[in-house]
Amino acid sequence: MSAQAPRNDRFLRALRREPVDRPPAWIMRQAGRYLPEYRATREKAGSFMALCRNAELCAEVVRQPLQRYPQLDAAILFSDILTVPDAMGLGLSFAAGEGPVFAHPVRSGAQIDALPVPDPEVELRYVMDAVRTIRADLANALPLIGFAGSPWTIACYMVEGRSTRDFHRIKALRYTDPAALHRLLAKITQATTAYLAAQLAAGAQALMLFDSWGGVLSHADFREFSLDYGAQIRAALPQDVPVIWFSKGGGQWLEAQAGAGFAALGLDWTVDLAAARAGVGQRLALQGNLDPAALLGSPEQLRARTQAVLDAAGPAPGYIFNLGHGITPDVGPEALQVVLETVAAA
């Protein structure tokens, strides 16, 4: 892929903490179920995984929010963080009303040691084909973000076998056999590093690591079992590629995260953005952090809440507007229009 900068490079400049005319904006899950056009495409595909495995349909759903909202400053790959463990043989499916389920969860040291490390251009070729197709479809108008789950988050799903509220299986593994958990995290780190490097080779121009479950760890364990593995991935990737780290529920560890080598930290809605900008925001870019639930309020409230986030971020370089987590399916598309028009007017 060409190294030429996209025509709209506001997002990439903000990641480098360079001046921009206004805060760039993109939205986690901006291609998703809140859009009727996305729901129609998913129905056409037949299932979520069938959609993920169809490069042309992936490009179609990536394009949908960009066509609806010209204020967006970045596109993000349409995929799922669980493609990597699926490629390791765990048998991913999505049960109606239950979320992701693995047919073969990993529960023992022997199972961990037997896990293969997938080749991203073989077992995960469909993701790379999607990156290539989306990048070509963008025609260099906007930058393309690739992504993966953090090793800790992926390990949670692999050990639990499905979404959970108490994380009892993986926490039991942490306390009964921490060496086995470290072997699992090391293997996921190896696979994720190769996966993200392949996304870059296929055309991604920035990367994001979603540490969705980092916040369930204790203070003593966050660095050892989550952040250190994310930092290993960052260090193994080309240093001129910006990588965003988003640890949901990890706001109490911003200082540690800021020292891990990332270009930016994503912040959830519980973080004091003004304090973060005055602190770690002096050293790296910050992204966030409007509460996704704010999009369920009135347009007047939503404009005020969006403006409050922009005011907290302030005018200094190195800020990217986003939600504090993914947009939810119950949000009306017009609500996001209010948010993005407010940001565009900043």
Residue at 57 is within a domain: yes
Residue 177 main-chain phi, psi, to 5 deg: -150, 65
Whether residue 272 is contained in a domain is answered as yes
Is 1 a member of any domain?
no
The whole-number pLDDT of residue 3 equals: 66
| pLDDT on residue 1 | 44
E-strand spans in 137-227?
144-149, 206-211
What amino acid is encoded at 113 in this protein?
Answer: D
Averaged pLDDT in 10-residue chunks for the chain of 346 residues: 81 98 98 97 95 98 98 98 97 84 95 97 98 98 98 98 94 97 98 98 98 97 98 98 98 98 98 98 98 98 98 98 98 98 97
pLDDT at 2: 46
Residue 4 DSSP class = P
Half-sphere CA count of 177, side-chain side, radius 13 A: 14
Residue pair 260/245 in contact (Cβ under 8 Å)? The answer is yes
Distances (CA, A) of 58 to 29, 263, 325: 13, 27, 21
Q: Do β-strands 92-95 and 99-102 pair in parallel, antiparallel, or remain unpaired? A: antiparallel
Considering only CA atoms, which of 186, 207, 185 is closest in space to residue 195?
207
Q: What is the pLDDT of residue 255?
A: 98
Domain annotation covers residue 56: yes
Contact predicate 313/319, CB 8 Å = yes
User: What CATH number has the domain bearing residue 196?
Assistant: 3.20.20.210
Give the span between the Cα atoms of 310 and 288, in whole angstroms.
Answer: 10
Looking at residue 334, its amino acid is E
Give burial (CB, 10 Å; 0-12/13-18/19+) of 56. exposed
- N-to-C CA span, the chain: 33
Domain count, the chain: 1
Q: What angle do CA 267, 305, 324 make, to 5 degrees?
A: 20
5 within domain boundaries: no
Q: Of 124, 104, 103, which Cα lies nearest the Cα of 114? A: 104
Contact by Cβ (8 Å): 35, 335: no
**Which pTM does this prediction carry?**
0.97
Range of the domain at 38: 10-344
In a domain, 123, yes or no: yes
Q: Is residue 4 part of a domain?
A: no
Give pLDDT, residue 345: 97
Torsional sign, CA 148, 207, 44, 34: positive
Q: What's the full length of the chain, in residues?
A: 346
Q: Which residues are catalytically annotated?
A: 29, 33, 42, 80, 157
Q: Kind and range of the H or E element at 275?
A: helix 273-278
